Structure 1
Amino acid sequence: MRVLGLMSGTSADGVDAVLADFQGRPEAPRWRLVSEASCAYPRELRARLLAVAQGEPTQAGVLLELSEAITELQAQTAKACDPEQSAELVGCHGQTIWHRPPGKGAGGVPRRGSSWQMLQGPLLAAMLHRPVVHDFRAADLALGGQGAPLVPMADAALMGRIDGWRALLNLGGIANLTLIPPRRGPERRQPVLGWDCGPANSLIDLAMSRFSDGRDQFDREGAIAAQGHAEEGVIERWLQEAYFQLSPPKSTGRELFGQDDLTRRLHDLSHCSAEDQIATLTSFTAAVVAQDLLHLRTRGRSLPVEMVVAGGGSRNPTLMRQLNTRCRGLRVRLSDDLNLPSQSREALVFALLAWWHACRHPGNAPAVTGAERTCVLGLCADPP
């Protein structure tokens, strides 16, 4: 089946699309990437998205217009990727506006998780004249799960296994890890694991925008971070914060690592130059990942032998150097080396999840999200 996948991540920099063919068994598909495309969010739209995603009070009418604009850009990107409309099905993640993992509410009463991916699914189906699978997190959340991350099972199906544990690190707005068991040996029957580590590009991008009065949206090629020196004492203190000590399952987003969090961290770095502050935030991202890998050992789990890196942060040479330095003994490589494009990997994941929906194949992993059981993910909107 030919499927179109659409993804707009926590960084809210735009929409990525892939067109892919899937054949064979759902758990071990044969797949081929046909085409890919990306469309950036207009600057004003991105600014509105980020403000809403960080809790800025917003009128209902504005939210409605925002959802329409998001849907229209998704359709534009889909048409750029598949101008001949050859896809039979579309999988679209939508734009995450707010994510609330399961936890405890007022008085310590348990509270279910909830997550909002802004999209008008039926409208997108009408614009593309094809069925659209969307709202992928809802079923897992309804079963008591985190609803995220959803990529680990798809990562395992797309990448396959090696002789040891393999890690896949996605560096979007948030850093998340997938751990794939070895193909042979006593641990081959272990479940796929995964979780959100913490901030990746979110704090770096927000800091760059703040320092440049909005002119620079990210640290291009890590150039600013490369000019500074990281404050290791501050990083060590940050690593002791509650989220970074949690055991999986765990998930997060801009509601925790957004503007307010950046303000607090920059206050800790007020004695530093802008270059040192960006260097510290960049090193912090790598340190969070390295600490999570070390926690595997203390929990009696095997460490991965290689880590494949994807997402926008993989194009930041300073961040990649920090990962290599802090994750010693681990082979660090780019997903592009495995013919899995780093920019469009998550769009490919949601194409696969849509295909799994059509096959009625479960897409979540209780070991990752904490859900009661596996389930088919997504809701399907047919074109009117």
Structure 2
Amino acid sequence: MHCLGLMSGTSADGVDAVLARFDGPAQRPQWSLLRHHHQPYPPQLQQQVVAAGQGAAMPASLWLELAETITEAQANAVMACDPEGKAEVIGCHGQTVWHRPPAEGTRGSSWQMLQAPLLAHLLQRPVIHDFRAADLALGGQGAPLVPRADAALLGSTEGWRALLNLGGIANLTLIPPCSGADRHASVLGWDCGPANSLIDLGMRHFTAGAESFDKGGAMAARGRVDEVRIQRWLQEEYFQMAPPKSTGRECFGREDLNRRLDQLDGASAADTIATLTAFSAAIVAQDLEHLRQTRGIAPIELITAGGGSQNPVLINELRQRCRGAQVDESSTLGVPAEAREALVFALLAWWHQRNHPGNVPAVTGASRETVLGVLVPPA
């Protein structure tokens, strides 16, 4: 079955579309990635999405226009990726504008902006969306949703395999080994914290909006890391929480950047970006060390994907801090780094059609497994 997956993440740089084919057993499908396309958001749309994700007040009319514009961008990505219309179903994550994990006494909720009936009408194909809702209804975090799909797509190796997505937020998947005492263990995963979100906001701050990310890590490479400050930041509440946990720009956005800028006390642009870049790596390293200490799990490889995998300074920081794990990019396993999450949502759409569960209770904290997504047929 041909499925098309769409992902627009917290970096708000645009939409990734992947056309893939799936066959065979649901748990371990045979799959092939046929085409990938990245549809950048226009600068104004990116700015609106970032502002919305940080709690900016907007009149209802602008929220409505934003939803329509996001939906049209998703449709354009589909048509560019699949001009022949091969995909039988579209799996669309939508654009997260607010995420509220469950807390004591309150249920979780998450808003992935999309007008699914409009998207289905524009494409004249069924759309599966709202993938987080069922997990949230069962008491889960609603995120991350990639771990089960990662395990199905990439499989296991001789030791624990860690996959790290470096989007706006860094999230980890840990796949148990194919042999040994842990071979029947559950897949694990959680949101570590900021990957590119603070770096990107920092670049906009220091360049007056002229640069939206640190291309090639050039700014970070010129700076000096404030290791003392990083070690203090690592003691903050979120980074000390045990999984399940999830987060987003509502926690690690402009307000959080401003607080850290004040604490860096007038550091230069290069030193600040270098410190924020090293901080993103240090968060992951601390989580992996906690995992080793509490559960005796130490991955033998760390496979990176997402935009941050193209930042050599960030990757070098990961190599230095995550000792004992071989750091590689997901393309070494046949999945282009920028296409991984869109491929996951193509698989989640296929799983929905097969009535196969997509969440992992050990990851999200949901009370049970469930099929993810809501199907909307074309009008």
Shorter-chain TM-score category? over 0.9
> Where does structure 1 differ by over 2 angstroms across 4 or more consecutive aligned residues?
none
Give TM-score scaled by structure 2 length: 0.99
For residues 211-222 of structure 1, what are the structure 2 equivalents within 5 Å? 211-222=206-217
Which residue number in structure 1 is paired with residue 44 of structure 2? 44
Letter in 2 for 1:374: E
What residue identity is the alignment partner of 1:60? A
Q: Aligned AA for 1:147? A: G
- Corresponding residue of 2:205: 210
1:300 Cα shift? 2.3
**Aligned equivalent of 1:249:** 244
Deviations 1:76-118, CA, capped at 9 Å, x for gaps: 00000000001101000000000000003xxxxx000000000
Structure 1 residue 271: deviation in Å?
3.2
Once residues 55 and 44 of structure 1 are traced to their aligned partners in structure 2, the CA distance between those partners, rounded to angstroms, is 17
- 1:304-354 CA-to-partner distances (Å, cap 9, x unmatched) read 110100000000000000000001111000001111110011000000000
Supply the AA of the counterpart residue of 1:338. Answer: L
| 1:124 is the counterpart of 2:119 | yes
Q: In the aligned structure 2, how far is the partner of 1:153 from the partner of 1:57?
A: 36
Structure-2 separation of matches of 1:19 and 1:49: 25
Structure 1-normalised TM-score? 0.98
Q: Counterparts of 1:302 and 1:237 in 2: how far apart (Å)?
A: 25
Give the match for residue 332 of structure 2. Answer: 337
The letter for the 1-side match of 2:164 is L
SS in 2 for 1:209: helix
Instruction: Name the CA distance, whole Å, in 1 between partners of 2:376 and 2:280.
Output: 37
> Residue deviations 1:231-269, cap 9 Å, x none?
000000000000000000000000100000000001111
Which secondary structure state, in structure 1, belongs to the residue aligned with residue 315 of structure 2? helix
1:26-65 → structure 2 map (5 Å cutoff): 26-65=26-65
Separation in 2, partners of 1:270, 1:348? 42
Q: 1:236 aligns with which of 225, 231, 236?
A: 231
In the aligned structure 2, how far is the partner of 1:323 from the partner of 1:346? 21
For structure 1, list consecutive stretches of 5 or more residues without a partner in the other structure: 105-109
Structure 1 residue 202, shift from structure 2 partner: 0.1
Letter of the 1:3 partner, please give it.
Answer: C
Deviates more, 1:328-337 or 1:359-368: 328-337
Deviations 1:170-211 (A, max 9, x none): 000000000000011111110000000000000000000011
Give 3-state SS (helix, strand or coil) of 1:234's partner: helix
1:311 is aligned, of 306, 323, 332, to 306
Q: C-alpha distance in 2, partners of 1:214/1:355?
A: 40
In the alignment, the residues of structure 2 paired with residue 327 and residue 364 of structure 1 have an alpha-carbon distance, to the nearest angstrom, of 27
CA RMSD in angstroms, aligned pairs only: 0.6
Q: Aligned partners of 1:357, 1:301: CA distance in 2, in Å?
A: 34
| One-letter amino acid matched to 1:258 | G
Q: Which amino acid aligns with 1:245?
A: Q
Partner Cα separation in structure 2 for residue 235 and residue 371 of structure 1: 32
Selected match of 2:110 from 83, 106, 115: 115
Unaligned 5+ segments in structure 2 are none
Q: Shift of residue 299 of structure 1? A: 1.0
Q: Structure 2 residue aligned with 1:289, among 284, 288, 312?
A: 284
Residue type at the aligned position of 1:234: R
> Aligned letter for 1:325?
Q
Distance 2:312 2:158 in 1: 28
Query: 1:14-29 to 2 correspondence within 5 Å?
Result: 14-29=14-29
In structure 2, the residue corresponding to 1:103 is in which secondary structure? coil
Q: How many residues align?
A: 379
Report deviation, 1:270. Answer: 2.2
Structure 2 residue corresponding to 1:143, chosen from 135, 138, 145: 138
Give the match's secondary structure for 2:337.
coil
